[in-house]
């Protein structure tokens, strides 16, 4: 008698046995190899670096948020994007960095499947949202330098807030759908031997058919954001070059070099931080894909994956508030003015700015709210 085998069916499971949440790629002794070696000194250096990076990220981004929200003059469209980027950095580091520190200390990812889902969702959502915010900031730089006269007509508060809202909603919805589809593809899809476990992408058609649509959408959004950033920065460099040549022809004695102009310096630092963000993010994803689908992944590949993850979670996050925030002249002046007020009048200065005490001491001369809104033209003229 010929027996018919039952065809396996795919279904979405709601539970994940903790006993099955073990690494298929861990070392022989069951521990997770750490990135730069296994000596206590190297382990301590890694934990110290990640901890200091986390504190710097929190301090810098919270500082940017406080300065921008405390001064009415800084409530402009371009600075709303700074606030959005700061929130992304705070969320991703607050959720992911403590997990990384625990895993580095104990050398095994044993925080449970539920927390694995939580921090993987935050990691993917904030990564995508950060990329979208960087694209919005690149467009802002493009308009403020290349279309200075029409800047305030094009870049309005409502449009920028709409773009920021779209960036957050797109990130949240796409990641949520991707995680749900990943559960259909493989209920036990997380690799706990990585510093951060995210849904695995397999090359088998049974699993890939559920993940492929969202992977295509995510790839399209990533490529589009990358194209916007590259286009904006290239146009800014071209415009800066033309203006520098014009100024040099009109002022023969002008010795200012092209690379020393304000616009070029600003865009150069922005480009460097973006490249670190994008390269480390991409290489972490590539090495993760190889680890998931290779039968016997090498220790070097595991080390590379963890290294790229640490670079992605640390350098861009604590550099963003410096490059995009405190390097800005207006934010610098506001921050120094805030420090001056705290030292002279105390913390109550932010509560009763219209009181007699506030009028008696006065506001800093360099930061009055009586300035007009011609920042776009001024920045273009400074190129």
pLDDT of residue 46: 84
Q: How far is CA 53 from CA 48, 93, 97, 322, in A?
A: 8, 9, 9, 13
Q: Give the helix, strand, coil percentages of the chain, each rounded to 5.
A: 75, 0, 25
CA atoms within 13 A on the CB side of 143: 17
Cα angle vertex 106, ends 100, 111, to 5°?
Answer: 60
Q: What is the pLDDT of residues 128-144, one digit of tens each?
A: 999 999 999 999 989 98
And the tokens for 213?
A: 């649509």
Which residue(s) pair with 199 in the sheet? 190
Which is the CATH superfamily of the domain at 33-355? Answer: Rhodopsin 7-helix transmembrane proteins (1.20.1070.10)
Residues 264, 267, 271, 272: is their CA dihedral positive or negative? positive
Q: What is the pLDDT of residues 88-135, one digit of tens each?
A: 999 999 998 988 888 777 766 666 777 878 888 899 999 999 999 999
Judge contact between 86 and 325, C-beta under 8 A. yes
Helix (H) or strand (E) holding 62: helix 40-70
Q: How far is CA 51 from CA 57, 110, 123, 313, 362, in A?
A: 10, 20, 18, 11, 40
- Name residues of the chain where pLDDT drops below 70: 1-39, 107-111, 184-194, 198-208, 210, 251-262, 295-296, 346-383
The pTM of this model reads 0.78
pLDDT of residue 9: 42
pLDDT of residue 201: 63
Buried/exposed 27-51: b ≥16 CB within 10 Å, e otherwise: eeeeebbbbeeeeeeebeebbeebe
């Amino acid at each position: 008698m010929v027996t018919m085998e039952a065809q396996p069916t795919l279904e979405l499971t709601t539970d994940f046995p903790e006993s099955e949440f073990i690494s298929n790629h861990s070392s022989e002794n069951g521990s997770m190899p750490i990135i730069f070696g296994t000596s206590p000194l190297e382990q301590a250096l890694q934990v110290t670096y990640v901890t200091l990076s986390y504190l710097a990220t929190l301090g810098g981004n919270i500082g940017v948020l406080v300065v921008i929200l405390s001064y009415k003059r800084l409530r402009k469209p371009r600075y709303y994007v700074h606030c959005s980027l700061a929130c992304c950095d705070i969320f991703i580091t607050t959720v992911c960095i403590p997990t990384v520190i625990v895993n580095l200390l104990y050398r095994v990812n044993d925080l449970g499947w539920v927390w694995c889902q939580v921090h993987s969702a935050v990691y993917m959502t904030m990564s995508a949202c950060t990329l979208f915010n960087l694209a919005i900031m690149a467009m802002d730089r493009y308009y403020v330098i290349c279309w200075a006269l029409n800047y305030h007509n094009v870049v309005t508060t409502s449009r920028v807030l709409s773009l920021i809202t779209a960036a957050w909603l797109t990130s949240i919805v796409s990641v949520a759908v991707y995680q749900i589809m990943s559960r259909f593809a493989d209920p036990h899809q997380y690799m706990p031997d990585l510093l951060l476990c995210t849904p695995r992408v397999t090359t088998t058609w049974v699993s890939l058919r559920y993940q492929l649509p969202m992977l295509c959408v995510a790839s399209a959004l990533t490529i589009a954001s990358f194209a916007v950033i590259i286009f904006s920065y290239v146009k800014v460099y071209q415009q800066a070059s033309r203006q520098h040549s014009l100024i040099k022809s009109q002022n023969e004695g002008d010795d200012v070099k092209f690379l020393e102009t304000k616009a070029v310096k600003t865009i150069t630092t922005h480009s460097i931080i973006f490249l670190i963000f994008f390269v480390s993010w991409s290489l972490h994803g590539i090495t993760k894909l190889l680890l998931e689908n290779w039968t016997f992944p090498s220790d070097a590949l595991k080390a590379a994956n963890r290294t790229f993850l640490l670079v992605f979670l640390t350098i861009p996050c604590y550099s963003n508030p410096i490059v995009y925030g405190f390097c800005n002249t207006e934010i610098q002046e506001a921050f120094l003015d805030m420090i001056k007020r705290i030292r002279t009048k105390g913390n109550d200065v932010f509560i009763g700015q219209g009181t007699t005490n506030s009028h008696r001491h006065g506001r800093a001369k360099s930061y009055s709210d009586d300035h007009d809104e011609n920042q776009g033209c001024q920045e273009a003229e400074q190129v």
